[in-house]
């Protein structure tokens, strides 16, 4: 991992100290967990805390179970806490990888995790979603997805009360850039200086990058993460990305953006939004799960619209197979009991139903959402996801040696999120030039990583990142990897 600065070290140290005061379910040992003294669990899944509390309580009372000490971190802060915990030998038994910028293959190679010991029944429940290099390494299961790939993070959430006050129809949310700009202006005008048109979590560049990637796809970009599916080339500078960012900048120029939002993380922006500071907020499907947990009364005002597009037409976005979620730290001495917890409670249909009920990302078994206790707006969103989100190709699924390229890769900075943030704050004035440089730097970094992987015996090349048989508005299925 990249060496931490002194400021980062102190911030992470403070986070670890504060962890002792966070919510816990039962007792538990320290990081890594001494065998037989309970489990420790860290994650960033705010909206799933209630479900986990119930699961952990049942597990502690059941046969072979132990208490579980649970700690929640904001995703923007968890990475530093994990890095410090690894350096000091205090990683929790189980965790998510939020904030760690390296891919799973690189983290496994660096000694962050050990294989799970799932039961045969649990393996059978998740085996159709496992991919070597994402979830399994050398044939051993390290993690499994709990969410569906049918999702995007740039959902148009809105306050129905503020929208209706402006004379807008809550049942006909804006769908295009022009419609949204007009609606945001109208909502702000009707606010009488007490509320704005739009708020966003601009203090989270990684989240901004993820959301702009989704918006670029909805605008017609035939790829993901700046890489075109058919030829594998980097094209962050494509018109779709430029148009998305220029649209976002136009909202700032229209002054419909809440002042001060440039430094806000999602928890601050979301809380201010539910308090009525703005009519519209871009967030992921997890938004109601978090917002209504803190402000249940806001449920009567919660409205949702699909991802925005430049003009009218059917939406199509693409999402790679979901990564693994819960990882067993290499330092854990409780592998058997931690694996029992995951096997018995987190691979089941019942857990998918719990995930749906807490309005997180769509659960791995997305079919259960309709019979869940989720808010009607969430159920409407999932219907859109089923219609408009397709399974994307994943290079590592076509060639497991890609994980060696990932291990050799280094983050490129400034990344997409940094550029989006800079454009919104006025620090980046030539968006296309910044994106063109990002494309060039990303391609050069990939070339270097491929060369390093080849030097270690990996059978990889640029062709492994190209999928010429990819087709719009369709799933990229397993047989297609062999046919390209």
Q: What pLDDT shows up at residue 35?
A: 52
Which of the four pLDDT bands, split at 50, 70 and 90, describes residue 76?
confident
The fold of 12-144+325-363 is D-Maltodextrin-Binding Protein; domain 2 (3.40.190)
Q: What pLDDT shows up at residue 18?
A: 41
Q: Which two tokens stand for residue 244?
A: 């998305």
Q: What pLDDT shows up at residue 4?
A: 34
Across 2-11, 13-22, 46-55, least confident range: 2-11
Cβ atoms of 357 and 378 within 8 Å: the answer is no
Predicted confidence (pLDDT) at residue 7 exceeds the cutoff of 80:
no
The predicted model scores a pTM of 0.82
C-alpha distance from residue 224 to each of 12, 397, 437 (Å)? 32, 15, 17
Q: What pLDDT shows up at residue 62?
A: 94
- Between 377 and 131, whose confidence is greater? 377
Predicted confidence (pLDDT) at residue 244 exceeds the cutoff of 70:
yes
CA distance 367 to 438: 39
Which of the four pLDDT bands, split at 50, 70 and 90, describes residue 36?
low
Establish whether domains 12-144+325-363 and 148-322+386-484 are of one fold.
yes
Q: What pLDDT shows up at residue 103?
A: 84
Q: What pLDDT shows up at residue 470?
A: 98
Which of the four pLDDT bands, split at 50, 70 and 90, describes residue 33?
very low
Using H for helix, E for strand and C for coil, what is the string for the chain?
A: CCCCCHHHHHHHHHHHHHHCCCCCECCCCCCCCCCCCCEEEEECCHHHHHHHHHHHHHHHHCCCCCCEEEEECCHHHHHHHHHHHHHCCCCCCEECCCCCCCCHHHHHHCCCECCCCCCHHHHHHHHHHCCECCCEECCEECCCCCECCCCCCCEEEEEHHHHHHCCCCCCCCCCEHHHHHHHHHHHHHHCCCCCEEEECCCCCHHHHHHHHHHHHHHCCCCEECCEECCCCCECCCCHHHHHHHHHHHHHHHCCCECCCHHHCCHHHHHHHHHCCCEEEEEECCCHHHHHHHHCHHHHHCEEEECCCECCCCCCCEEECCCCCCCEEECCCCCHHHHHHHHHHHCCCHHHHHHHHHCCCCCECCHHHHHHCCCCHHHHHHHHHHHHHEEECCCHHHHCCCHHHHHHHCCCCCCCHHHHHHHHHHCCCCCHHHHHHHHHHHHHHHHHHHHHHHHHCCCCCCHHHHCCCCCCCCCCCCHHHHHHC
pLDDT digits (tens, 9 = 90+) for 78-124: 999 999 999 999 999 999 999 987 888 889 989 999 999 999 999 99
> What CATH homologous superfamily does 148-322+386-484 map to?
Periplasmic binding protein-like II (3.40.190.10)
pLDDT digits (tens, 9 = 90+) for 425-463: 999 999 999 999 999 999 999 999 999 999 999 999 999
Domain edges within the chain? 12-144+325-363, 148-322+386-484
Predicted confidence (pLDDT) at residue 231 exceeds the cutoff of 60:
yes
Predicted confidence (pLDDT) at residue 1 exceeds the cutoff of 70:
no
């Amino acid at each position: 991992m990249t060496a931490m600065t002194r400021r980062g070290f102190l911030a992470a140290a403070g986070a670890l100290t504060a962890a002792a005061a966070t919510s816990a379910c039962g007792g538990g040992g320290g990081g890594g967990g001494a065998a037989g003294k309970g489990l420790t669990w860290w994650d960033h899944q705010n909206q799933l805390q209630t479900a986990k509390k119930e699961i952990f309580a049942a597990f502690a009372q059941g046969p072979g179970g132990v208490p579980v000490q649970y700690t929640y971190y904001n995703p923007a802060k968890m990475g530093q806490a994990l890095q410090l915990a690894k350096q000091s030998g205090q990683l929790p038994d189980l965790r998510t990888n939020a904030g760690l910028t390296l891919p799973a293959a690189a983290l496994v190679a660096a000694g962050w995790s050990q294989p799970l010991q799932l039961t045969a029944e649990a393996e059978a429940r998740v085996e159709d979603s496992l991919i070597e290099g994402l979830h399994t390494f050398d044939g051993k299961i390290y993690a499994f997805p709990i969410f569906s790939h049918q999702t995007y993070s740039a959902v148009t959430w809105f306050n129905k009360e503020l929208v209706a006050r402006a004379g807008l129809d809550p049942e006909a949310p804006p769908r295009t850039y022009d419609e949204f700009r007009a609606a945001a202006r109208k909502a702000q005008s009707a606010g009488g200086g007490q509320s704005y048109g739009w708020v966003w979590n601009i203090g989270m560049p990684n989240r901004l990058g993820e959301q702009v990637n989704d918006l670029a796809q909805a605008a017609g970009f035939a790829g993901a993460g700046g890489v075109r599916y058919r030829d594998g080339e980097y094209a962050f500078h494509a018109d779709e990305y430029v148009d998305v960012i220029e649209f976002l900048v136009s909202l700032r120029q229209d002054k419909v953006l809440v002042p001060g939002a440039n430094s806000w993380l999602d928890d601050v922006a979301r809380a201010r939004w539910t308090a009525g500071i703005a009519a519209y907020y871009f967030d992921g499907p997890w938004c109601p799960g978090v917002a209504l947990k803190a402000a249940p009364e806001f449920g009567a005002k919660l409205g949702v619209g699909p991802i925005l597009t430049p003009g009218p037409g059917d939406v199509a976005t693409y999402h790679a197979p979901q990564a693994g979620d819960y990882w067993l730290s290499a330092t854990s001495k409780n592998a058997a009991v931690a694996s029992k917890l995951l096997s018995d409670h987190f691979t089941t249909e019942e857990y998918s139903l719990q995930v749906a009920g807490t309005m997180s990302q769509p659960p791995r078994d997305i079919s259960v959402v309709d019979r869940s206790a989720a808010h009607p707006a969430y159920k409407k969103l999932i219907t859109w996801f089923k219609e408009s989100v397709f399974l994307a190709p994943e290079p590592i699924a076509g060639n497991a040696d890609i994980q060696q390229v990932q291990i050799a890769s280094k983050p490129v900075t400034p990344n997409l999120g940094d550029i989006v943030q800079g454009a919104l704050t006025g620090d980046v004035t030539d968006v296309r030039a910044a994106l063109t440089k990002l494309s060039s730097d990303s391609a050069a970094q990939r070339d270097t990583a491929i060369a390093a992987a080849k030097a270690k015996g990996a059978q990889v090349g640029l062709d492994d990142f190209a999928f010429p048989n990819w087709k719009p508005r369709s799933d990229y299925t397993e047989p297609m990897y062999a046919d390209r």
